Structure 1
Amino acid sequence: MKPSDNSMRKLLTAILAASLAGPALAFDLDSDDPISVSADSARLDDGKGIATYTGAVVLVQGKTRLTAERVVLYRSVEGLNRIEANGSPARYQQPVTSGEGETDAKALNITWSAPDKQLTFEREAVIEQNGNVFSGDIIHYDTEQRVVTAEGSEDTGDGPGRVEMIIQPRSSNNSTQ
């Protein structure tokens, strides 16, 4: 009996969500750690609450790190509420909160939205964690509900792009020698 595409998608999403459940992939506005930014150039429009950084941008909060060619920060009266990063690729890294390892995510566009509590990786998106790999054209990660949703690319004539996963087997303490 072959599982339907829909049931397979639900299973794969559940597996990925479980594998990514350790970290709360996002910058933490409630943290006492400041967010520091370095870049080749910066432009601040204080009236609009927009800061644009270009050229080898590095944004760091604690052990969370975002690198990109261009980063735009949006502030409201409540504070920082959106980060948009572009690169070839832009890269997001954060240690796993439970256990060892690191989440390493790459995409041409990365967006973090504080109000939506969501990270979005678009175009050539790949998330790696402890040997598990998840790729797709668009990957959304709800940092509060810890739900991952992924989409393949549109059909370009060669067939639609697919969401792909590599899931490592659980290590066994009962290995024989």
Structure 2
Amino acid sequence: MKPETNRYRSLLAALLTVAMIAPTAAFDLDSDTPIKVTADNARLDDGQGIATYTGTVELEQGDTRLSADRVVLYRTEGGLSRIEASGTPARYRQPARDGEGETDARALNITWSATESRLTFEREAVIEQNGNLFRGNVIHYDTAGRVVTAEGGADTGEGGGRVEMVIQPRSADRRTDRQETDGSSESQ
């Protein structure tokens, strides 16, 4: 097989894995499930449509959760339009798309935009799911198109500021079965 074909297949496999790692639809405004917010402090500016929560802030909608030190909710006449969260780090969790495991994402800043159908993780951004990892300075996830883009950051001497992906083998079970049948298992 040509080296170009192998590189293409490797790139395709990596991109498919990124799609599996990425969160699904984030908060669902069409859902009948309300978004519940708890915090140490709250300030509501009804005229501007801005609610600011500080302290230990927790947002929940069904199994989707966001925790942060500070969360700002923006409302328009159409409803909730934007969520901005910051923390050390802020953390976003929801069940994985395939129903197995959980997507666990964290960053110093997390923004969800309903109008752009986008989740953005900024500064020290990490998304993990079932042992797979995606890390970058900024990670954008288009929830409608299910497209992930990432940007590296400045080279701080600790990792070179590049985007990093760790992709687990397809099936740990197949690997275990193969070890037991070929005699290379530790139990023998």
TM-score by length of 1: 0.88
TM-aligned CA deviation for residue 98 of structure 1: 1.7
Gaps of 5+ in 1: none
Q: CA RMSD in A?
A: 2.5
Counterpart residue number, 2:114: 114
1:173–1:16 Cα change, 3 Å = closer
- The CA deviation string for residues 97-140 of structure 1, in whole angstroms up to 9 with x for no partner, is 32310000000000000000000000000000010001000000
| Superposed CA offset, 1:157-176 (max 9, x none) | 88950000110001154823
| Stretch deviating more after TM superposition (24-33 or 119-128) | 24-33
> Which residue does 1:63 correspond to in 2?
63
Q: Distance in 1 between matches of 2:149 and 2:11?
A: 10
Residue 156 of structure 1, CA deviation:
5.5
Contact 2:21–2:132 under 8 Å retained in 1: no
Larger Rg: 2
Query: Is 1:103 matched up with 2:103?
Result: yes
* 8 A contact 1:125–1:135 mirrored in 2: yes
Equivalent position SS for 2:16: helix
Q: Percent identity?
A: 65
Shift of 1:11: 4.6
Name the structure 1 match of 2:152. Answer: 152
Match of 1:15 in 2: 16
Change in Cα spacing, 1:56 to 1:158, as seen in structure 2 (3 Å) is closer
Bigger helix share: 2
Take 1:125 and 1:156, find their aligned partners in 2: how far apart are those partners?
15
